[in-house]
Every structure is written in structure tokens, then in C-alpha cells.
Amino acid sequence: MPDFAEKDACELLDADHIAVKHLFVDYARLAFATDAAATEAQRTALAMKICEELTVHAQIEEEIFYPALRKAYADVGDQLDEALAEHREAKELITDIRGIGTANPAMDTLVAELNVVIEHHVKEERDGQFPKARTASKLDLIGLGQKLRERQQELQAERALSAETH
């Protein structure tokens, strides 16, 4: 695998954005094809992975990134409140998708809705919060990235374990 250096906080979060977008695109490709019925298992797996990835992503943003940003800037409150509202919207969709369980046209619609919500959220973050974070002298993005990564790995491990025991 190519030699990437360690990512800072923004890069780490953006890596999540790009990776999950790939999953969304793959899902849509399958859901819109003429043989959608034949790809039920693939779509289910993709949907569950999307939900998993986004759940962890939202949690580390909420626990680490947003509070750090809020501390660094007095005026990002509204932006972050909006971001949190978007997280809530996404979480509801994730709950609904998980509730359906197996891919079907209803799940296709929900995954597309989730995609749109996330796309919007990502754009806000990339256009608004990342440039702020990158220029805040008080923010140690490398250190923050480290924290995000550790918490992400921890959450992933926890969730994997809980998935195994269930």
C-alpha cells in the first residue's frame, strides 16, 4: 500500500467522507441497475457498512472534533449546532435502515436519503469547518487527529466485539 504520512484531524475525517461516499455510490449503482433484485445481499452488506462507518464517524466528531472547534472559535456555535442536527437526522435514517434489515426498494430510498444528508453535511464541513480548523492557531490538528484515530479504533473494536457476541 502507498506511503501516506499520518493524517491530521481534518484529513482523517475527510478520509471517512470519501470512503463512505464510495460505498454510497456502489450502493446506488446496484440499486438502480436492472438486476437490483439479484444484489440484495451485496446491498444489505453495503448498507450495514455505511451505517457502521457513519455511526463511528459521527461519534468521534461529537466527542472530540466539535468540542475542540467550539473551544477554538467563539463563532462556530451555530455551524456546529446545525452539524449536530444533521447528525441526528442521519442517525434516524440509520436506525430506519437497520430496522429494515434486508435491502429492498424502501431501503434503497432511505440509503439515498442518507447519502444526500451526508453529502450536504460533508460539504458544510469541508467548506466551513475544515478551513476554520486549519487556520486556528490554538488547534493542534495532528494531536487531534491522533485522538480521533485512537477513539475511532477503540469504537470499531468495541462494535466488532459486540457484533460477535450478539
Partner 1 sequence: MPRITTPPSRRDSNNDSAVKAAARNTDSAPSQAVADDSTDPAMAKAAQTGTLAAGMPFNPTKPSEHGFANGLAPQTGASVRPASRLPTGSTLSEENTSQKVGTVAPEGVNATIEPLDRVRVDSAGQALTTNQGVKVADNQNSLKYGVRGPALLEDFILREKITHFDHERIPERIVHARGSAAHGFFECYDAATDLTKAAPFKEAGKMTPVFVRFSTVAGERGSKDTARDVRGFAVKFYTDEGNWDLVGNNMPVFFIQDAMKFPDLVHAVKPEPHNQIPQAASAHDTFWDFVSLMPESTHMLMWVMSDRAIPRSYATMQGFGVHTFRMVNEAGTSVFVKFHWTPTAGTHSLVWDEAVKISGADPDYHRRDLWERIESGAYPEYELGVQVFTEEQAEKFSFDILDATKLVPEELVPIRPLGRMVLNRNPDNFFAETEQVAFCTAHIVPGLDFSNDPLLAGRIHSYIDTQITRLGGANFHEIPINAPIAPVHNNQRDGMHRQAIPRGRVAYEPNSLAGGCPFQAGAAQGFVSVAASIATQDEQGKVRAKPEKFADHYTQATLFFESQTPVEQDHIANAFRFELSKVTVPAIRQRTVAMLRNASEALAAKVAKGLGMVTMPEPLPKATTEVAPPEVMKSPALSLFHRPGDGSLAGRKVAILVASGFEGGFVLEAQATLLEHGVVARIVGPHIGRVSTISGEAVEADASMENAPGFLFDALILADGSESIAALAQDGHTVEFIRDQFRHCKPILCVGDAWRLVRHAGLPISMDKSLAQGGTGLFVVDAGEGGAAMNAFIAAMQKHRHFGREMDPPLL
Compute and round to an integer the Cα radius of gyration of the chain. 17
Nearby residues of 153 by Cβ (< 8 Å), 6 or more positions away: none
Write down the H helix ranges in the chain.
9-32, 40-60, 66-72, 77-100, 105-124, 130-135, 141-165
Q: Does 12 bind partner 1 (CB under 8 A)?
A: yes
Q: Does 115 bind partner 1 (CB under 8 A)?
A: yes
Q: Does 5 bind partner 1 (CB under 8 A)?
A: yes
Q: Return d(Cα 89, Cα 129) in angstroms, integer.
A: 19
Which range touches partner 1 (CB under 8 A), out of 30-38, 61-69, 70-78, 85-93? 30-38
CB 24 within 8 A of CB 111: yes
DSSP 37: G
Q: How far is the CB of 138 from partner 1 (least distance, A)?
A: 23
Q: Does 132 bind partner 1 (CB under 8 A)?
A: no
Q: Does 56 bind partner 1 (CB under 8 A)?
A: no
Q: How far is the CB of 132 from partner 1 (least distance, A)?
A: 17
Q: Does 72 bind partner 1 (CB under 8 A)?
A: no
C-alpha cell of residue 58: 459521527
Interaction site with partner 1 (CB under 8 A): 1-5, 7, 11-12, 14-19, 21-26, 28-29, 31-34, 36, 109, 112, 115-116, 119-120, 122-123, 126
